[in-house]
Amino acid sequence: MMELKFIRPYVKRYGLQYLIGIAALLLVDALNVYIPRFTGQITDGLETHSIGMNEIWFLIAKILLFGVFIALGRFAWRYFILGPARSIERELRDDMFGHLETLSMRYFNEHKTGDLMAHFTNDLASIRMFLGFTIITAFDASVMLVLVLAQMILYVSPKLTIVAVLPLILIMFGDYYYGKVMHRKFLEKQQAFSDLTDQVQESVSGIRVIKAFVQERKELAAFARMNLFNQEKNLSVVKLYSLFLPLLDLVIGASGLLTLLYGGYLAIAGEITLGQFVAFNQYISMLVWPMFAAGDCITYISQGLASLKRIIVIFHEKPEIVDGFDVDRTIESLTGEIDLKGLTFSYPDQDHMSVLDQIDLHVEAGETLAIIGRTGSGKSTLANLLLRLYDTEPGMIRMDGHPIKEIPLAVLRENIAYVPQDNFLFSDTLENNIAFGIKKDRKEIEQAAKDACIHDNIMEFPDGYSTIVGERGVTISGGQKQRSSIARALLKNAPILILDDALSAVDTDTEEQILHNLRRNRAGKTTLIIAHRISTIQNADHILVLDEGRAAEYGTHDQLMEKNGIYRSIYDKQQLEKQLQEEGGEIR
């Protein structure tokens, strides 16, 4: 079976522990099964007045000694079986996380974070149950069943055994059925709970929008509905449980009654001794648990296997963007020359709507290329393709003359510094955010922050560079976040820098300052600036105007102005806006 084949190497590493654990389990069971004999012997001795206090003390001492060994054995099997189960869970989680990180953007676009979280928590927990408790239960239950039944038959009476055990078999079937229904109800309960958490999470993240649109009441109503649903699902689990327990008691009671009745009769008839009768009653109570456990096991095993299956799907997910067979390991760095030939691209599973269409361009190392165009025209997509977050047809993108697929991924990405449009800061200090993944001393970090015009802001924060930002720290403004991302990219000082709309949230003065620093800093290095404002890009060596994925216009600022096309009309509009703003300022 695929699931077992997958988990085997993990389990194998702990083979010895599992063996010791199982041996301890066997020992405990064997000792346990023996104890009723002692009570039987004492009873028989008392009845026939054949033992004195000394023998009783001796037997009790033996029972105590057995008890000590049983306790030690119980500790051992817990330690040696539950321990590895936890370790395997940890290893699986590490491996899964490592694997997840290799997967391509497409995978993360298609899978909800909540679902991935569920795999990391619920599924791994049920696999741990499967590898720990279920193994113990299955093993213990079957061994106990055999041993106790053997004792009953050999030491007491086969006839009595059959009569007493018959009702108990009901438990096994009943429990199996109960487990199935319970599992279904349990899943529903879990789903209801996960919907509830989703709702809370979403409302908390969107609390500003909710408040701004005065939707608190509506949100509360929606939440109350879900909360009620969650309660109902919980209640139905409790109901089933409370129905099952009394029924179980009934069956156990019935079995006990039958034992008393028939066992008493056999004892009176002299077929069994009083001691055997007493021991048998103990055996019956020892049988209840294995019967019960057998049903549980089937449930847990099926849950564990189902979880394994879901996890294997993740492990079998292949990273699509990898170093292929044609990768050229001799390439160790890039100079920054970029060449696009007929670059055409559509996102996977998007009905082949071209997001980029036949783009040709050439950027020499050290030049600055600017890209402007309406929202949705494909600017960020182009940046993604240069980072090889998605693959294109061979030959469409070359850097330093190498097809992009021949460049080792690590080299490619090390040689590109990137400020994504939705710049992201980790819940960490500003210093660590700026020096993300690179070892730099404080002076360099501060210089990068100065060049990105964020240094002064940082110094005003309570803890300066040690200020923690993100979810666990202070909230910094959109513009500050953006400039921190720019500082991070500048610090990397790579041959290629891509700024995706990275100056959208700064005022024109600061923009000018940052552009000035960029020119000084990036002399001789390639820079790609994506922007909406002409002021950001007018000094670039080349300007590409994207329109619905096509290169509508291409040239320098002066050439494009002369052309009197899209670029010119954007320019005119922005000039007009600027004039209006300035006039507005004068009137005030």
Ligand X SMILES: Nc1ncnc2c1ncn2[C@@H]1O[C@H](COP(=O)(O)OP(=O)(O)OP(=O)(O)O)[C@@H](O)[C@H]1O
Cβ contact 525:337 at 8 Å: no
Residue numbers 9-38 binding ligand X by CB under 6 A: none
Whose Cβ is closer to ligand X: residue 430's or residue 502's?
A: 502
Residue numbers 498-557 binding ligand X by CB under 6 A: 501
Q: Is 550 left (phi over 0), alpha (psi -120 to 50) or beta?
A: beta
Helix (H) or strand (E) holding 288, with range, is helix 274-316
| In 398-454, alpha helices (H) | 409-414, 430-434, 442-451
Choose the contact partner of 242 out of Mg ion, ligand X, none; CB within 5 to 8 A by kind. none
Residue numbers 289-308 binding ligand X by CB under 6 A: none
Nearest approach in angstroms of CB 376 to Mg ion is: 8
Choose the contact partner of 347 out of Mg ion, ligand X, none; CB within 5 to 8 A by kind. ligand X
Residue numbers 381-400 binding ligand X by CB under 6 A: 381
What is the CB neighbour count within 10 angstroms for residue 8? 10
What is the CB neighbour count within 10 angstroms for residue 418? 23
Choose the contact partner of 378 out of Mg ion, ligand X, none; CB within 5 to 8 A by kind. ligand X
What is the CB neighbour count within 10 angstroms for residue 218? 11
Choose the contact partner of 109 out of Mg ion, ligand X, none; CB within 5 to 8 A by kind. ligand X
Choose the contact partner of 84 out of Mg ion, ligand X, none; CB within 5 to 8 A by kind. none
Residue numbers 515-554 binding Mg ion by CB under 5 A: none
Cβ contact 392:345 at 8 Å: yes
Nearest approach in angstroms of CB 548 to ligand X is: 9
Whose Cβ is closer to ligand X: residue 184's or residue 573's?
A: 573
Choose the contact partner of 137 out of ligand X, Mg ion, none; CB within 5 to 8 A by kind. none
Nearest approach in angstroms of CB 309 to Mg ion is: 38
Q: Which of 421, 457, 521, 539 binds Mg ion (CB under 5 A)?
A: 421
Strand partners, 368: 527
What gap in Å lies between CA 436 and CA 492, rounded to an integer? Answer: 9
Choose the contact partner of 467 out of Mg ion, ligand X, none; CB within 5 to 8 A by kind. none
Nearest approach in angstroms of CB 552 to ligand X is: 13
Whose Cβ is closer to Mg ion: residue 421's or residue 457's?
A: 421
Q: Is 493 left (phi over 0), alpha (psi -120 to 50) or beta?
A: left
Phi, psi of 542 (to 5 degrees): -135, 145
Whose Cβ is closer to ligand X: residue 349's or residue 441's?
A: 349
Contacts for 373 with CB less than 8 Å, ≥ 6 apart: 379, 544, 545, 546, 547, 552
| In 2-123, alpha helices (H) | 2-12, 15-47, 53-77, 83-102, 105-110, 113-118
Contact string 68-107 vs ligand X (x = CB under 6 A): ----------------------------------------
Nearest approach in angstroms of CB 380 to ligand X is: 3
User: Secondary structure of 329-341 in the HEC alphabet?
Assistant: CCCCCCCCCEEEE
Nearest approach in angstroms of CB 571 to ligand X is: 17
Residue numbers 400-459 binding ligand X by CB under 6 A: 421
Nearest approach in angstroms of CB 530 to ligand X is: 7
Whose Cβ is closer to Mg ion: residue 515's or residue 530's?
A: 530
What gap in Å lies between CA 445 and CA 452, rounded to an integer? Answer: 11
Nearest approach in angstroms of CB 375 to ligand X is: 3
Output the six-digit token pair for 581.
């703003």
Torsion 396-397-399-402 (CA) sign: negative
Q: Is 478 in the site for ligand X (CB under 6 A)?
A: no
Whose Cβ is closer to Mg ion: residue 421's or residue 467's?
A: 421
Nearest approach in angstroms of CB 373 to ligand X is: 6
Span near Mg ion by CB under 5 A; candidates 137-145, 286-294, 421-429, 479-487: 421-429
Cβ contact 517:553 at 8 Å: no
Contact string 344-383 vs ligand X (x = CB under 6 A): ---x--x----x-----------------x-xxxxxxx--
Nearest approach in angstroms of CB 377 to ligand X is: 4
Output the six-digit token pair for 568.
């010119």
Whose Cβ is closer to Mg ion: residue 78's or residue 533's?
A: 533
Phi, psi of 554 (to 5 degrees): -150, 130
Cβ contact 500:418 at 8 Å: yes
Nearest approach in angstroms of CB 193 to Mg ion is: 37
| In 259-273, alpha helices (H) | 264-268
What is the CB neighbour count within 10 angstroms for residue 152? 25
Choose the contact partner of 252 out of ligand X, Mg ion, none; CB within 5 to 8 A by kind. none
- C-alpha R_g of the chain: 36
What gap in Å lies between CA 519 and CA 527, rounded to an integer? Answer: 9
Nearest approach in angstroms of CB 349 to Mg ion is: 20
Residue numbers 107-136 binding ligand X by CB under 6 A: 109
With CB under 6 A as the rule, give the number of residues binding ligand X: 14
What gap in Å lies between CA 504 and CA 217, rounded to an integer? Answer: 35
Residue numbers 367-396 binding Mg ion by CB under 5 A: 379-380
Whose Cβ is closer to ligand X: residue 186's or residue 347's?
A: 347
Whose Cβ is closer to Mg ion: residue 451's or residue 501's?
A: 501
Cβ contact 411:484 at 8 Å: no
Residues that bind Mg ion in the complex, under the rule CB under 5 A: 379-380, 421
> What residues line the site for ligand X (CB under 6 A)?
109, 347, 350, 355, 373, 375-381, 421, 501
